[in-house]
């Protein structure tokens, strides 16, 4: 049996334990390097996941919509913009804060593209 790194699934408590079987079943070809690929794979198979994993992954997806810390690709693309405009904003409000600055000419194009993709 192949050992899989689940660092990206370890962001949320218990997801690692609840989803280990589903990761092996559906995501063995995913490189779990912390960029959210494991969560992306699990979300693509959401209806097929075992119930505990489906519930945990659904919660991660809901949190990901509002928080930048559970969205590694968005966090990477928007780190400087978040520091610039959203310092002091709690994680659950950073995405909304960034969205409020999307029309600002000084916002990086990479961040704008990621935010548009998220919506």
DSSP designation for 113: H
Whole-angstrom distance, CA of residue 8 vs CA of residue 40: 10
Distance from C-alpha of 92 to C-alpha of 25, rounded to nearest angstrom: 31
Same domain for 78 and 61, yes or no, is no
Domain span holding position 16: 7-66
Is pLDDT above 60 for 27? yes
Of 6 and 82, the structure prediction assigns the larger pLDDT to 82
Same domain, 51 and 76: no
User: 13 and 61 share a domain?
Assistant: yes
Is 61 a residue whose pLDDT tops 50? yes
pLDDT above 50 for 7: no
- Comparing 24 with 31, the larger pLDDT belongs to 24
Residue 38 pLDDT grade (very low, low, confident, very high; cuts 50, 70, 90)? confident
Residue, of 92 and 82, whose pLDDT is higher? 82
The Cα 16–Cα 29 span in angstroms is 17
Check whether 68 has a pLDDT greater than 50: yes
Residue 34 is predicted with a pLDDT of: 67
User: Where among 27, 42, 66 does a domain terminate?
Assistant: 66
Cα–Cα separations (whole angstroms), residue 28 to 2, 24, 51, 89 = 8, 5, 19, 37
Per-residue pLDDT at 2 exceeds 50: no
How big is the CA angle at 13 (ends 42 and 52), to the nearest 5 degrees?
A: 50
Q: Is residue 1 in a domain?
A: no
Ranges 14-23, 33-42, 44-53, 86-95, most confident:
44-53
């Amino acid at each position: 049996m192949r050992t899989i790194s689940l660092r990206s699934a370890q962001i949320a408590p218990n997801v690692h334990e609840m989803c280990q079987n589903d990761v092996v079943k559906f995501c063995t070809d995913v490189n779990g390097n912390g960029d959210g690929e494991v969560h992306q794979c699990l979300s693509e198979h959401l209806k097929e996941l075992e119930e505990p994993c489906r519930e945990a992954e659904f919660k991660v997806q809901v949190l990901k919509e509002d928080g930048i810390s559970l969205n590694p690709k968005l966090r990477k693309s928007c780190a400087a913009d978040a520091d610039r405009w959203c310092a002091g904003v709690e994680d659950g409000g950073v995405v909304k804060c960034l969205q409020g600055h999307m029309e600002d000419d000084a916002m990086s194009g990479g961040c704008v593209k990621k935010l548009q993709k998220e919506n």
